[in-house]
A and B are shown apart, each in its own frame.
Chain A
Amino acid sequence: MRRRPLGVALFVVLLALVPQFAERWVIDLFTEILIYALFALALNLMVGSGGLISFGHAGYFGIGAYAVAILGTKLGWPFPIVFVAVVLLSAAAAGIIGFFSVRLSSIFLSMLTLAFGQFIWALAHEWKSVTNGDDGFLNLARPEFALTRPSFYYFVLGTVVAGAGILWLVVHSPFGRILVSTRENPLRAEFMGVDVKRVQVIAFVISGIFSGIAGALFALFNRSVFPAIAWWSGSAEVLIMTILGGMHSFFGPVLGAGVLLFLEREITQYTQYWPTVLGLILVVVLFAFPDGLAGVTKLARLLPGRKKR
């Protein structure tokens, strides 16, 4: 445990070196992995700490992406204001969805978050005067300080590291501990004076904000936005990253995002049936390693011949 900060710092330094020697496609792949890592970490605040299985996170991701397209490119707002708007809009959406979703037990929370997520997709698809419908937005303007490929990479890296840092602080704060207690035993948490529903809604909001930021980065990365960004398979994909990496480990989702995006890049070169591969990966993870890849590494640590810490 004591060596972890050093490891994380080393990892970030290595990431910062990527544009110095890597080819263009590698920089692009790492940019995408970083964005999804933030998205998966945001989701895992709810899934891992709160036990709240959201199936609608593509909705917040989409809100962030569309906010950049509409406010930044279409209306030409300055970037810092767009950033604040992304935070406020995704916080508002997550707050409203959370308010309704925490009224039901966990299974129905998943149903509701899926339904609301699809509502955001439907808005993007149907509200043509604002969102351009299926045509979406092309040629999004990036902020002036992130026009080149390496500078955009550093912009993403900085945002993601800051976001991950804040999420780490949240998870390890008293609030994070209380959130875990509402997952482990809501009744007992209630007896101890915890307003369980309020804590859960706050988790929705924090998770929604960082998902929105990730979506905004993703839109700037692709320089385009279409309604498909909010489609439910996006929610499944980030959830699978979280589960694959390991929802009970803080950095598990980062690992999951890296592994899944790398596999997607490789496998889609051979087959158009990536969803099936994704489904099979999920089945294997569920049956064989329910704690994800992070769980496997923990297991390896317990093997004989290695010193337990």
Chain B
Amino acid sequence: MNAALIITQFLNGISSGMNLFIIAAGLTIVLGVLRILNFAHGALYMMGAYICFSLTRGIMGMTGNFWLAVAAATLAVGILGLVVERVFLRFLYGRDHTYQLLLTFALVLIFGDIARFVWGSNVLSVPFPPGMNGATNLGIVQYPTYRIFLSLAGVTIAAGLWYLTQKTRWGRQIRAATQDREMLAALGLNVPFIYASVFFLGSALAGLGGALHAPTVSLVPWMDAGVIVTCFIIVIIGGLGSLWGALLGALILGLLDAFSSVFIPEIKIALIYLLLMTVLVVRPWGLLGRPGSL
């Protein structure tokens, strides 16, 4: 093994970790505020990727622009999430959480079929945006430009989420909701609005993650399964409902995956679960979670 390989794998780990963070952040925010485990989060990610695919190819005579496609896919999936929350989910808030879980699972089945119906079962791919299909010279290694962009996009979104949750009034409200949601209504805050906006944000992040991921993966109607399992593991490792835990978990998983696929590919999957089990024994509430938080 040489230095260039190690650096390349390190960068691979960071870029896929940052991409996973965008998706997992959406899952963990919804989990923290609404106490709902959204199985359909992976399906929303898939919708983001597919919508990006269609818009990149251009619609109604317009040539597709990748960046506009990403923005539109993010917004579209956010709205899709909002519709799901307003039409179905909100009627189940008062019930046992099993029902909410099963409802999101029903959506997984339905979204999977929608993807199959609209885009078919064949493997589709999204081209890299113009100017990003090559590699950039980083001094020691040549590294794919798009992956550098992915890492930077992840950092930007992490910073944006930090600002949103720490510095804005809305962010303070959702942080308060994570800690004690009964108090919110007692303080006279508009709880339905908070829930709906959080679900919109969480879904939009899934859509954004899917759209940005699209050029680096094959689009198939069952692509949601792998992502949702990875996101679950990230959220459990990082800490339940913790944004920074999701960042840490995503980076750990990204790096673990990048290095093990080169050095010990045979036990790659087992390694991830071994890490998960270790965390569960040592810190069941996750690396950055609080004991008894959920």
Contact = CB atoms under 8 A, between A and B. Distances in A.
A275 interface: yes
Interface string B25-51: 000000100010101000000000000
A13 to B, nearest CB: 35
Contact of B284 (A104, A233, A276): A104
Contacts of B225: 118, 231-232
Interface string B85-111: 000100110010111011101111110
A290 interface: yes
A283 B88 contact: yes
Nearest to B107: A279
Contacts of A116: 273
Contact of B106 (A104, A114, A122, A283): A283
Contact of A111 (B37, B98, B284): B37
A173 B116 CA distance: 47
B109 A236 contact: yes
B277 A100 contact: yes
Interface in B217-243: 225, 228-229, 232-233, 235-236, 240
Nearest to A103: B284
B68 interface: no
Contacts of A236: 105, 108-109
Contact of B102 (A100, A104, A233, A286): A286
Interface residues of A, number: 39
B113 A275 contact: yes
Given A53-B98, A279-B110, A108 B103 contact: no
Contacts of A118: 225, 229
Contact of A275 (B112, B232, B280): B112
Interface string A88-132: 000000000000100111111011101110110011001000000
Given A53-B101, A279-B107, A100 B280 contact: yes
A137 B116 CA distance: 28
B275 to A, nearest CB: 12
Given A100-B277, A115-B229, A275-B113, A239 B37 contact: no
Given A103-B284, A115-B233, A275-B109, A286 B103 contact: yes
Residue among A55, A107, A233 facing the most chain B CB atoms (10 A cut-off): A107
A10 interface: no
A110 B235 CA distance: 13
A171 interface: no
B193 interface: no
Contacts of A243: 102
B38 to A, nearest CB: 11
Contacts of A286: 92, 99, 102-103, 106
Contacts of A239: 102, 105
Nearest to A240: B102
B129 to A, nearest CB: 32
Contacts of A112: 232, 236, 280
Contacts of A145: none
B35 A114 contact: no
B294 interface: yes
A78 B228 CA distance: 40
A189 interface: no
Interface string B198-230: 000000000000000000000000000100110
Residue among A116, A118, A278, A280 facing the most chain B CB atoms (10 A cut-off): A118
Nearest to B110: A279
A110 B38 CA distance: 11
B113 A276 contact: yes
B280 to A, nearest CB: 5
B239 to A, nearest CB: 11
Residue among B35, B95, B117, B277 facing the most chain A CB atoms (10 A cut-off): B277
A287 interface: yes
A119 B274 CA distance: 11
B276 interface: yes
Contacts of B107: 279
Interface in A210-225: none
A233 B109 contact: yes
A110 B109 contact: no
8 contacts: A100-B277, A107-B35, A107-B37, A107-B101, A115-B233, A273-B116, A283-B103, A286-B106
